[in-house]
Amino acid sequence: MDLNRYPAEPYRIKSVETIRMNTREERERIIRKAGYNTFLIDSEDVYIDLLTDSGTNAMSDRQWAGMMLGDEAYAGSRNWHHLEGTVRELFGFRHVIPTHQGRGAENLLSRIAIQPGQYVPGNMYFTTTRYHQEANGGVFFDIIRDEAHDAQAELPFKGDVDLNKLKGLVDRVGAGQIAYVCVAVTVNLAGGQPVSMGNLREVSRYCRGQGIKVFMDATRCVENAWFIREREEGYADKPIRDIVLEQFSYADGCTMSGKKDCITNIGGFLCLNDESLFQAARELVVVFEGMPSYGGMAGRDMEAMAIGLREAMQEEYIEHRVKQVRYLGDLLQDAGVPIVRPVGGHAVFLDARGFCPHLKQEQLPAQALAAAIYVEGGVRAMERGIVSAGRDKVTGKDHAPKLETVRLTIPRRVYTYRHMDLVADTVTRLFRHREDIRGLKWAYEPRQLRFFTGRFEQL
Ligand SMILES: *Cc1c(COP(=O)(O)O)cnc(C)c1O
């Protein structure tokens, strides 16, 4: 194996968790019982769990040691001061509000910064982000470059904002009708695709000129920084820390899911520069999350997060992280399996339209493919297609996204290259008898974020 292309793990293993493979007959029974929804399978019934990289990270010995330093005071915990100081230093924002996870921060931001009827332009949607925007009367408007919706377009920064789309909207409705611009780094649903520094700079310059605020969805900001260093001119020798800091210099604040690039299992926060928005968020956080000095997290969680955030900036860590994901993508690509190109930072996205050309989008190909992968080899993945996209709030019709994908998401520091071999083998085997994958229809469709708990039947 080429150790530059696929570096060895920059850590050694101190504690292990046993996993067990069940039989194909058992898995067929389990997936039927779960209504063909991989979210409804028990963890014990999964061999390799690539459902999400959210909260599934392995903490370091230092983080575990930090857990013992939890100051569980209701107010003024010392771990809060540690976390607040770390975030201010590494992100460069003035104010930090802790929340129980990323969506807690999205809830607060949407409540304080959106007037009903205002637009919230974003570089593609994320499920919980858009939910909170719409629940507060906002209208999501997609401003990602067109190529992001094309699974095969091979571009270094497929997550970039198309500035003309943003300008077109502002010219049409007026800057006063824009709540704020939301830029996600990286773009999860586009395949973990990065946004270039040049694009962040341009968006910021334009928005500042128009008096429009920019908030970043910072969930995978360290992975994004790594791609900037790998692909953008002028960044090859810059430390990851400096790149992260520069990214945020183009924003007025951010929402953060601590369950991703903070390498922890729970938590999140909201960052703001503006004083009056900060006051409003401090008033609301006590209603939904807790005191402004814990926001739904235990002291020990905040300590682990402060330590994890610093570890995430380590060069060897982030290089291995991104390249391990790429390794899985390369194996699948070499086997002829259709995937979203290029491979992003946290996951390999299978192109379900290419994988299951015999299924129409109404037959929920990505949902069916995720279920079939589980039956094939005990690997759990997630649908990111028409089921996740949900229905239009106004018309009640299904959003029908161009990208119909299954996400194989790699938890941080959890699995080895050999596990990736096993995943690639499972998917490749299934690909050889893909015409056996049967379409699905809804058996129970929840009204909110339906992909989490929805149930299906085979056609
Ligand atoms: C996970 C995620 C969120 C929401 O964060 P939670 O901690 O799961 O609430 C928001 N945006 C993106 C891009 C995410 O991946």
Choice among 127, 150, 231, 455 that is catalytic: 127
Choice among 93, 119, 125, 126 that is catalytic: 126
Q: What is the pLDDT of residues 36-89, one digit of tens each?
A: 999 999 999 999 999 999 999 999 999 999 999 999 999 999 999 999 999 999
Q: How remote is the CA of residue 215 from the centroid of ligand 1, in Å?
A: 14
Which pLDDT belongs to residue 368? 98
Q: Best mutation site among 183, 187, 260, 412 for ligand 1, i.e. most ligand atoms within 8 A of its Cβ?
A: 260
Which pLDDT belongs to residue 373? 98
Q: How many CB atoms lie within 10 A of CB 208?
A: 13
The yes-or-no answer on residue 127 being catalytic is yes
For range 289-307, the mean pLDDT: 97
Choice among 27, 229, 259, 260 that is catalytic: 260
Which pLDDT belongs to residue 394? 86
For range 292-320, the mean pLDDT: 97
Q: In this structure, are residues 217 and 255 in contact, taking their beta carbons and an 8 Å threshold?
A: yes
Per residue, the 3-state secondary structure of the chain, as one string, reads: CCCCCCCCCCCCCCCCCCCCCCCHHHHHHHHHHCCCCHHHCCHHHCCEECCCCCCCCCCCHHHHHHHCCCCCCCCCCHHHHHHHHHHHHHHCCCEEEEECCHHHHHHHHHHHHCCCCCEEEECCCCHHHHHHHHHCCCEEEECECHHHHCCCCCCCCCCCECHHHHHHHHHHHCHHHECCEEEECCECCCCCECCCHHHHHHHHHHHHHHCCCEEEECCCHHHHHHHHHHHCCCCCCCCHHHHHHHHHHCCCEEEEECCCCCCCCCCEEEEECCHHHHHHHHHHHHHHCCCCCCCCCCHHHHHHHHHHHHHHCCHHHHHHHHHHHHHHHHHHHHCCCCECCCCCCCEEEEEHHHHCCCCCHHHCHHHHHHHHHHHHHCEECEEECHHHHCECCCCCCECCCCCCEEEEECCCCCCCHHHHHHHHHHHHHHHHCHHHCCCEEEEECCCCCCCCCCEEEEC
Q: Best mutation site among 52, 54, 222 for ligand 1, i.e. most ligand atoms within 8 A of its Cβ?
A: 54
Q: Lowest mean pLDDT: which of 97-101, 139-143, 149-153, 272-276?
A: 149-153
Q: What is the pLDDT of residues 387-433, one digit of tens each?
A: 999 998 889 999 999 999 999 999 999 999 999 999 999 999 999 99
Instruction: Kindly list the domain boundaries of the chain, sorted by start residue.
Output: 3-53+314-458, 61-312
Cα distances (angstroms) measured from residue 113 to each of 212, 259, 273? 11, 24, 13
Residue 305 has pLDDT above 90, yes or no: yes
For range 299-306, the mean pLDDT: 98
Q: How remote is the CA of residue 187 from the centroid of ligand 1, in Å?
A: 11
Which pLDDT belongs to residue 154? 95
Structurally, at CATH architecture level, domain 3-53+314-458 sits in Alpha-Beta Complex (3.90)
Residue 1 has pLDDT above 80, yes or no: no
The yes-or-no answer on residue 6 being catalytic is no
Which pLDDT belongs to residue 2? 87
Q: Is 186 in the pocket of ligand 1 (CB under 6 A)?
A: no
The yes-or-no answer on residue 327 being catalytic is no
Q: What is the pLDDT of residues 216-268, one digit of tens each?
A: 999 999 999 999 999 999 999 999 999 999 999 999 999 999 999 999 999 99
Q: Is 268 in the pocket of ligand 1 (CB under 6 A)?
A: yes
| Residue type at 57 in one-letter notation | N
Which pLDDT belongs to residue 286? 96
| Mean pLDDT of all residues belonging to the chain | 97
For range 273-291, the mean pLDDT: 97
d(CA 316, CA 416): 16
* pTM, entire model: 0.96
Q: Best mutation site among 106, 109, 187, 188 for ligand 1, i.e. most ligand atoms within 8 A of its Cβ?
A: 188
For range 145-174, the mean pLDDT: 97
| Residue type at 298 in one-letter notation | A
Which pLDDT belongs to residue 393? 83
Q: How remote is the CA of residue 333 from the centroid of ligand 1, in Å?
A: 27
Q: What is the pLDDT of residues 327-368, one digit of tens each?
A: 999 999 999 999 999 999 999 999 999 999 999 999 999 999
For range 109-117, the mean pLDDT: 98
Which pLDDT belongs to residue 311? 98
Choice among 74, 393, 436, 441 that is catalytic: 74
Q: In this structure, are residues 126 and 120 in contact, taking their beta carbons and an 8 Å threshold?
A: no
Which pLDDT belongs to residue 408? 98
Q: How remote is the CA of residue 219 from the centroid of ligand 1, in Å?
A: 6
Which residues, in sequence order, are bridge partners of residue 353?
none
Q: CATH code for 61-312?
A: 3.40.640.10
